[in-house]
Structures are given as C-alpha cells and as structure tokens.
C-alpha cells in the first residue's frame, strides 16, 4: 500500500479540525449551506474555526465582510489564500452565481501554500450556483495571469483581494498585473497596509501610500499602531 508523503500532515490537520470544531463532515455541511445574510455571522464563524481562521483583526474583517455583502461581487480574485478564512467570507457573501478564483503560492514565505487536502475543504465553501477555481502557483508568472484571464472569459473582476507576496516589489507586481482585470465600479483590496516591523520585510504599507492617492479609497484599520494587518480599499 502506498502512503502519501503528506499523510502525517493530513493526520495533524484533521486532529486540529476535530479539536477546533467537532467533525469534518459537520463543518463541510455548514460550509455548504446557503450563505447567511449577516456578514457579522459569516466573519465570526470563520474566526471561530482554527483550521480556516483568517489572519485578520476581527473588527477589520467584519467591516470588510459588510462591504462584500453590500457589493455582492460576481467575479472575485484572491491572491494569497493561506488557511482559507477570507476565501470563506468571500464565497459566502458574493453573488450566488459568482465566479471566484483563489491564487496561492505553494510554500510562499508570507503564509501561502495550503496543502492538497485543505483544498478538499475549500471546495465546500461556494454555494451551489457559484464556481470556485483553486490555482496553486506563482501569481507573478505570465502564464498564471493568462489562466486567470481565461477563467474570466473576458469578464471584469468586481473584487481583487491582494494578500500574497508582501514585499514592495511583490505587491506592486500583483497590482500591476491584475488590476487591469478589474472593471469600472470594482474594488481592489490590499491586506497588511499598516506599517509592520522592519524585520518582517513587509512593503505593503509603502506601496499603499503610493497608490492610494490615485484613487478614491478607504482604510479599514482598528489601530494604526497595531503593527500588522489593516485593509486598504481602492474604488475603480
């Protein structure tokens, strides 16, 4: 009998799942139910579940979730998925017929690289009428951009969430490559716009200060001195 090289990781993952919530089938059923109307409920659910918990300040995530619920985007691209908590929020609050794309780099230094068995859980996030595409690759590759464009079938994005490579060069590349896919009236969202400690090499705040002056924008931050997180929204 052959054993997956990631089988020990699978065991650890499902032990965490059992400890954090109960049983995988129960979580899967909850993730598959019709999206609730209350964005607070959706955000708080994601924050309660250890195996998908987003690396977000709770008050910021709730405010962002409210924005998504009001907009009901029909086409979404998330760059940087990690444990999937923010993807869960996007799926549950997007339009019931939305196309959602997750783009995540395996082994990414900024928290990327979910395992293949986590993708099994993510596939329960969208509602029946939605389509979720999971791409595990480098967002900076031209062929990956072409793959995303092909999925969209000439449609424009309503929401682009950039939370991948946090270096200045990395976040700038994601913006320059994927922002042209966002349509008029859409939003481009950045995570981690608050100034981080220098040793973390997070250049998002630097790029955010440069780019925000070109757009109508909003900052969702609990505390500017919190040293991490913060959400920036550009309105196109």
What's the CATH code of the domain at 222?
3.40.50.150
Arithmetic mean of pLDDT over the chain: 86
Give me the residue label for tokens 């973390």. Answer: 200
Measured distance CA(198)–CA(126) in Å, rounded? 37
For range 93-103, the mean pLDDT: 97
pTM value is 0.86
Q: Confidence band (pLDDT; 50, 70, 90) for 217?
A: very high
Measured distance CA(195)–CA(22) in Å, rounded? 37
Residue 2 domain flag: no
Closest residue by Cα to residue 30 from 78, 88, 73, 97: 88
Domain residues for 139?
Answer: 7-235
Nearest-5° Cα angle at 114, 111 to 120: 150
Measured distance CA(102)–CA(94) in Å, rounded? 14
Residue 1 domain flag: no
β-strands 131-136, 157-162 pairing: unpaired
**Residue 156: is its pLDDT beyond 60?**
yes
Highest mean pLDDT among 57-61, 118-122, 226-230: 57-61
For range 164-168, the mean pLDDT: 92
**Residue 23: is its pLDDT beyond 50?**
no
Domain total for the chain? 1
Residue 80 domain flag: yes
Residue 170 domain flag: yes
Who's near 55: CB < 8 A, 6+ residues apart?
A: 82, 83, 85, 111, 229
**Residue 225: is its pLDDT beyond 50?**
yes
Q: Confidence band (pLDDT; 50, 70, 90) for 224?
A: confident
Per-residue pLDDT, 209? 95
**Residue 37: is its pLDDT beyond 70?**
yes
């Amino acid at each position: 009998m052959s054993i997956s090289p990631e089988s020990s990781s699978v065991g650890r993952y499902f032990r965490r799942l059992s400890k954090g919530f109960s049983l995988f089938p129960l979580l899967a059923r909850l993730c598959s139910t019709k999206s609730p109307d209350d964005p607070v409920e959706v955000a708080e659910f994601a924050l309660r579940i250890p195996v998908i918990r987003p690396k977000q300040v709770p008050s910021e995530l709730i405010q962002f979730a409210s924005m998504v619920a009001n907009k009901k985007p029909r086409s979404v691209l998330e760059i940087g998925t990690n444990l999937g908590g923010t993807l869960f929020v996007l799926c549950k609050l997007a339009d019931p017929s939305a196309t959602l794309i997750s783009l995540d780099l395996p082994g990414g230094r900024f928290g990327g690289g979910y395992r293949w068995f986590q993708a099994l859980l993510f596939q329960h996030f969208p509602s029946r009428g939605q389509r979720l595409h999971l791409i595990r690759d480098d967002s900076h590759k031209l062929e990956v951009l072409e793959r995303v464009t092909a999925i969209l079938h000439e449609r424009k994005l309503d929401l682009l969430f950039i939370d991948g490579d946090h270096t200045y060069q990395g976040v700038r590349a994601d913006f320059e490559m994927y922002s042209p896919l966002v349509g008029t009236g859409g939003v481009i969202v950045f995570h981690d716009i608050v100034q981080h400690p220098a040793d973390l090499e997070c250049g998002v705040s630097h790029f955010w200060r440069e780019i925000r002056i070109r757009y109508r924008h909003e900052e969702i931050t609990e505390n500017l001195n919190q040293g991490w997180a913060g959400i920036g929204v550009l309105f196109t």
